[in-house]
Amino acid sequence: EDFKGGGKIERAGKLLGRITVAVQSVEANGNLRVKGDQEIFVNEEKQRISVEGSVRPQDILTDNTVLSTRLGQAKIEMIGQGLLAEKQKPGILTRFLSWLGIL
């Protein structure tokens, strides 16, 4: 028997914003470990944005900002809570069928 298969998963998104971080520590090579989070409430929805990573001092711009593309070992999370976020989660039947391996 001969089997052929293929697959592709794509996901695209864009997050644009600014968040204040604080220096947590200075690494042996002089890079700064930074971390910060922010909560935003809009229309009974709560959005929590969290950023942490390593920054080289030379990547800090003159206005004291750092582009996320210059953040090493970056961990960036955006979590929403509220009615809209809850409606985007799969229902209990979908989760159960997925757990059974049917979906």
Cα(73)–Cα(33) distance, integer angstroms: 10
pLDDT score at 45? 82
Domain count along the chain: 1
Q: Is 51 exposed, middle or buried (0-12, 13-18, 19+ CB in 10 A)?
A: buried
In a domain, 16, yes or no: no
Return d(Cα 36, Cα 50) in angstroms, integer.
Answer: 6
Q: What is the pTM of this model?
A: 0.63
Is 2 inside a domain boundary? no
63 Cβ contact list (under 8 Å, min separation 6):
none
Q: Domain for residue 4, yes or no?
A: no
Give domain status of residue 87, yes or no: yes
Q: Which tokens hold the place of 101? A: 């391996």
**17 in any annotated domain:** no
Which tens digit of pLDDT belongs to each residue from 54-83? Answer: 999 999 999 999 998 999 999 988 887 765
What is the predicted pLDDT for the residue at 89?
61
Whether 29 maps to a domain, the answer reads: yes
| Residue 20 vs residue 84, higher pLDDT | 20
Question: Could you tell me if residue 1 is inside a domain?
Answer: no
Domain that holds residue 71: 22-100
Q: Is residue 90 part of a domain?
A: yes
In this prediction, residue 31 has a pLDDT band, given cuts at 50, 70 and 90, of very high
